[in-house]
């Protein structure tokens, strides 16, 4: 029995409790009261992005050996962070499944399924933790994606804060999402001889799904925030 599974379960419960109590911590504005579950969901996602994105940066700073060995090196803190993220993605999967129609959420549910499988392998095998930590750098951009949604729901589109967030969102999207995923794809290709076939297949399929999804989202953001 992997202790990592206890961290996953604890993370799931903690994010579930956070989700339930968020309306008291951050009451929804009048414009968001018709969609209260979405308001709670985005704030929960923001909390995870701050924790995991910041944790991933700290992990590479505190354990520079992770950069040299993305497969075998697994410091306890980095391993726990990946397990915490699995718990969050499971919680978010359940939250969307219970509160949103399938045709509205199937893309994110599919995305979460891929992430849960890939990160779950890292947690259970104590391998590829460094690779998973690289993937969590994407969450630095997710901070600004979630802030964008919060500002939209709060009807603050025509504000300086929204415009500034849009610029930072686009910049971090290129650096921490598109460039990071491209680097991960390149790493998989160059190290295919050192990665077991099953794991390589899962990683390749994951990258093949994530890359076009992120390019489409980038186009939507450009069109919505800059080319209206």
Torsion angle defined by CA atoms of residues 4, 51, 103 and 19, in that order, rounded to the nearest 10 degrees: 90
Q: List CB contacts of 92: < 8 A, sequence separation 6 or more.
A: 15, 41, 44, 45, 48, 108, 112
Per-residue pLDDT of the chain in tens (228 residues, 90 and over written 9): 578 899 999 999 999 999 999 988 999 999 998 899 999 999 999 999 999 999 999 999 999 888 888 888 889 999 999 999 999 999 999 999 999 888 888 888 988 998 999 899 999 999 899 999 999 999 999 999 999 999 999 999 989 999 999 999 999 999 999 999 888 888 888 888 888 888 888 888 888 888 888 888 889 888 888 886
What span, in angstroms and rounded, lies between the C-alpha atoms of 25 and 9? 24
Per-residue exposure over 183-217, b if at least 16 CB sit within 10 Å of its own CB, e if not: ebbebbeeeeeebeeebbebbeebbeebeebbeee
pTM over 0.85: yes
What span, in angstroms and rounded, lies between the C-alpha atoms of 16 and 44? 9
């Amino acid at each position: 029995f992997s202790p990592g599974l206890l961290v996953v379960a604890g993370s799931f419960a903690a994010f579930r409790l956070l989700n339930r109590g968020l309306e008291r911590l951050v009451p929804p504005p009048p414009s968001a009261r018709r969609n209260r579950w979405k308001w709670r969901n985005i704030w929960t996602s923001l909390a995870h992005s701050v924790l995991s994105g910041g944790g991933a940066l700290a992990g590479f700073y505190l354990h520079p050996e992770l950069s040299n060995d993305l497969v075998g090196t697994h410091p306890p803190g980095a391993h726990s962070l990946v397990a915490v993220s699995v718990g969050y993605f499971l919680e978010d999967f359940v939250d969307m499944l219970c509160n949103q129609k399938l045709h509205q959420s199937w893309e994110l549910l599919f995305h979460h399924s891929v992430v849960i499988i890939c990160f779950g392998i890292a947690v259970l095998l104590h391998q590829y933790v460094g690779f998973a930590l690289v993937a969590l750098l994407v969450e630095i951009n997710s901070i600004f994606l979630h802030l964008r949604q919060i500002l939209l729901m709060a009807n603050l589109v025509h504000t300086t804060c929204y415009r500034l967030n849009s610029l930072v969102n686009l910049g971090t999207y290129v650096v921490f999402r598109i460039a990071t995923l491209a680097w991960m794809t390149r790493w998989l290709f160059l190290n295919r001889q050192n990665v077991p076939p099953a794991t390589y297949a899962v990683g390749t399929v994951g990258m093949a799904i994530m890359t076009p999804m992120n390019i489409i989202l980038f186009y939507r953001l450009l069109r919505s925030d800059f080319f209206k």
